[in-house]
Chain A
């Protein structure tokens, strides 16, 4: 599942944790496009969810992280 977090906000439903936690609960393999300032948060969340990052690449000012259980 490809998830673009670049426009994620800080509200109740549009924040990275809310967006990702549904997929993490299902164990879906993830390809996440994110801003650099979101990276630590996303990695911690993936770690809690039992995911490991299988690939990380930089695309300009953004980062693409592929992770699976």
Chain B
């Protein structure tokens, strides 16, 4: 019955591109509309009632996101998206890091690779990249084997946006902590699908986006431990981040998170994000991944029966597949004409594909609104176009 909540799914489409962005339930769409119709005012500035309500809405969103991942509200920095969060954390950590190497993996999304590449170039550090196994999966040991006492940062994914494989962050963070390194987790594909408690993960920072968990585009989250945030200077400077600016311009920074949220924030987005979290909580976050696994298993089996190779193992919400004799883009195009929405190419993880010698895959990705009928219709379409 979930599908009925999603206006975009009422047409004749099979939406299997939720790893790129999820569709939005009516509750989220209505919340954004409600914000602009009833509460719109800038935050942390006005002393009139509307501005007070808008500020309250924005701060409540921090609290709601914090509760959702077991964090404190002051540790939640709203940014534009996960990419911005990962770039921001790289810039913030550059203020604290000591060491001669950064560890990441070849299976990262470009957003969790290029900021570390840039930082390593700027600092003359070595960027060590863990290689995937033949299934395109990074076993945790391949990351921890690269960590030594000179490692400054370990940046890795929680759930791969290509294979859907879920890493155990605790194994990595334990080794990193022992070496004195900071840990950054790309949680864009995990927070939407499974319960995440940042304290249990043992990492120092995580990044994720609202739009991949039913929320609006244009708002994402950087969570970082309070003790680290309090030691850092802001990267973006301007309004909203200072308590005072003296005649000589020497500023006094506000406390986190405001110190890191310069300028007018996306308040409507934050309100929509709150509505998305309410929706997920009422659905039951713990139910999402088990349901997706069932559908992913059916997808994987059906694809293998049709001669496709499938990346990864123990599939979760993502199934990336290819066949040497089929161009992935042309196949995705043909499926699109049948009303089946899938993605094709490198999925912003070109080094992984190049390492595996694959010139692109088709990716079907699931979320809580998908059901067995979607899988059936996917295969009906696939059989028609092949």
Point out residues on A near B: beta carbons under 8 Å.
10-13, 15-18, 21, 41, 44-45, 48
Contacts of B274 on A, CB cut-off 8 Å?
none
Q: Which of B355-369 contact A (CB under 8 A)?
A: 359-360
> Considering the chains assembled together, what is the distance between the CA atoms of A17 and B333 in angstroms?
7
> Considering the chains assembled together, what is the distance between the CA atoms of A5 and B320 in angstroms?
26
What is the interface of chain A mostly: helix, strand, loop, or mixed? Answer: helix
> Considering the chains assembled together, what is the distance between the CA atoms of A66 and B333 in angstroms?
21
Judge whether B360 and A48 touch: CB under 8 Å.
no
Judge whether A18 and B329 touch: CB under 8 Å.
yes
> Considering the chains assembled together, what is the distance between the CA atoms of A11 and B332 in angstroms?
13
Judge whether B252 is part of the interface by a CB distance below 8 angstroms: no
Considering only CB atoms, which chain B residue lies closest to A24 in the complex? B333
Shortest CB-to-CB span from B215 to chain A, Å, is 22
Contacts of B345 on A, CB cut-off 8 Å?
10-13, 15, 18
Contacts of A48 on B, CB cut-off 8 Å?
333-334, 337
Contacts of A41 on B, CB cut-off 8 Å?
327, 330
Judge whether B347 is part of the interface by a CB distance below 8 angstroms: yes
> Considering the chains assembled together, what is the distance between the CA atoms of A41 and B331 in angstroms?
11
> Considering the chains assembled together, what is the distance between the CA atoms of A16 and B337 in angstroms?
17
Considering only CB atoms, which chain B residue lies closest to A17 in the complex? B329
> Considering the chains assembled together, what is the distance between the CA atoms of A11 and B359 in angstroms?
9
Point out residues on B near A: beta carbons under 8 Å.
327, 329-330, 332-334, 337, 343-348, 350, 359-360
> Considering the chains assembled together, what is the distance between the CA atoms of A42 and B323 in angstroms?
19
> Considering the chains assembled together, what is the distance between the CA atoms of A66 and B240 in angstroms?
56
Shortest CB-to-CB span from A35 to chain B, Å, is 14
Contacts of B332 on A, CB cut-off 8 Å?
17
Contacts of B346 on A, CB cut-off 8 Å?
10-12
> Considering the chains assembled together, what is the distance between the CA atoms of A46 and B189 in angstroms?
35
Considering only CB atoms, which chain A residue lies closest to B353 in the complex? A10
Contacts of B337 on A, CB cut-off 8 Å?
48
Shortest CB-to-CB span from B26 to chain A, Å, is 29
Q: List 22 A-B contacts (CB under 8 A).
A: A10-B329, A10-B345, A10-B346, A10-B359, A11-B360, A12-B343, A12-B345, A12-B348, A13-B345, A15-B345, A15-B360, A17-B327, A17-B329, A17-B330, A17-B344, A18-B345, A21-B333, A44-B330, A45-B330, A48-B333, A48-B334, A48-B337
Judge whether A12 and B333 touch: CB under 8 Å.
no
| Cβ-closest 7 pairs across A and B | A17-B329, A12-B345, A15-B329, A10-B360, A17-B333, A11-B345, A10-B359
12 extra A-B contacts, CB within 8 A, seeds A15-B329, A48-B337: A11-B346, A11-B350, A11-B360, A12-B343, A12-B344, A17-B327, A17-B329, A17-B330, A21-B333, A41-B327, A41-B330, A48-B333
> Considering the chains assembled together, what is the distance between the CA atoms of A35 and B357 in angstroms?
21
> Considering the chains assembled together, what is the distance between the CA atoms of A13 and B345 in angstroms?
8
Judge whether B334 and A12 touch: CB under 8 Å.
no
Considering only CB atoms, which chain A residue lies closest to B333 in the complex? A17
Q: Indicate whether A12 sits within 8 Å of B347 (C-beta atoms), given known contacts A45-B333, A48-B333.
A: yes
Considering only CB atoms, which chain B residue lies closest to A38 in the complex? B327
Considering only CB atoms, which chain B residue lies closest to A42 in the complex? B330
Most A CB atoms within 10 A — which of B330, B334, B344? B330
Contacts of B344 on A, CB cut-off 8 Å?
12, 15, 17
